[in-house]
Structure 1
């Protein structure tokens, strides 16, 4: 998840470089530079999407050339029995409207969507005003685009490291909380220093903290919800629903930074700080203790009694509602 999502922060770095370079075509053939950005980057996007049709596979079962039969079987079986920890049961992988509907009834979808919604509000708004913040430090528009590259490179590295650490130490809540705290600190530094162009280093430090804090959150929450939704169909719909709900934050984030309030943006910074503090830092801790309590309650149950009461098929049908399932914390 972290490697996949690091593409977002890497894209932020390359987009600054591309915008700086392509912007030099301004007035070429009578067109403004931004038109060339849409055209050139759009062509690459379409070509990559067409190529992905042949190179991206739905499941290991459909990979024929670079996996042996034994390797395919290993991956399929590992996935089937991976949910819920050591006491997990076989997951159902068939299409099921019932399993899809269960995703919308799961509190875990909405619990994590709150965190991701907050991220979308902050990261959308932040990406819009970052060049303006850097421009206010004395750089012109083109230089400001180029100066956005280092923070995004830093975020790419932090995203990959955060994913490694979350898996290495099995700490899902901390992989959400710590980046949110980092971003919160960055926003505070920027809000205090952005009106003081005489200390550009302080503002840039805040920019690095904010960017490095925001981008590791999406892979962390996506991995968290995928671990806590058992059943292939329920997990697929659950991840999609969580991302769909949270993307509504982009509507909010793109409208809270009012141009007349530049460069201090009290409304934009204030909303971002408030949401990061409540739903980015406090709520993940509360959700963590809810999961711990559920796991403790289920852990107190006798496994032999559970298996005597339910068949393997029934436990599999329950998914993460099974008393044998343990939520990732």
Structure 2
């Protein structure tokens, strides 16, 4: 193992000792850490705040035991660890950091070497630190589970959201026709618009009939549901073609949806759930490596940074995410 001078240096981190709203977060001084043999120490330059981070602090993630430093996404520089990684600019995300182990909303984070992935050079640290959860969740559902193929029709429910936009970008890059379901006007910088998805305003329409008509009567191949309401999920199921797949990442506790089983099984349709929290930081690194080419080529537009906050204002940054700020909210740490 080789290291720069950062290993063992005291640092600042966001911490919560009890669950609650953003106001339970404090910035505290932490003792210096050494990653030890087989570990890597990353100096965090930027880290986005996801809705799941807010839920984590609120106590909605059963696996988390405080005190804890939250934070899933990050971008920074390796300052200690394997010789061929020291000095490398990296990015990452994981469903374990911030939950089962201290996360990225700190000046340093310790990772296993298998969690290291090189950041695309054309992305800033702020942009790279805002990619993780959205694109990894999109990739797992669309590429790994639904096995989307070129020429297929992909419908995205919640297309203006973070994951929805990522699905639009990945599917377009993989040769799909993408129908982005939206409500009303769509911002010019929305990913679904930037990548050339077909925008479908679903306000007041018969969604199932409209989708079948747009697909020439045969139905659609993949529906990626980032909303999780019966009003959209049920017609999406109806609109599936033979062999169609529905990927679901959202829902409301206690709310039920209906599926008519005879047409569902006769279509040999599939319903797929995705929970990216099940993927640890090391398991996400190969996905980020696979995504890097799309960002390097410009096929995936850089994330829109809505707000950037210093670590000292972490409680205000969390409050912005809790309020539903459009675009990504990041902490700047370097």
TM range (shorter): under 0.3
More helix by share: 1
In terms of Rg, which structure is larger? 1
More strand by share: 2
The structure whose RCO (Cα within 8 Å, separation 6+) is larger is 1
* TM-score, with length taken from structure 1: 0.25
* TM-score, with length taken from structure 2: 0.24
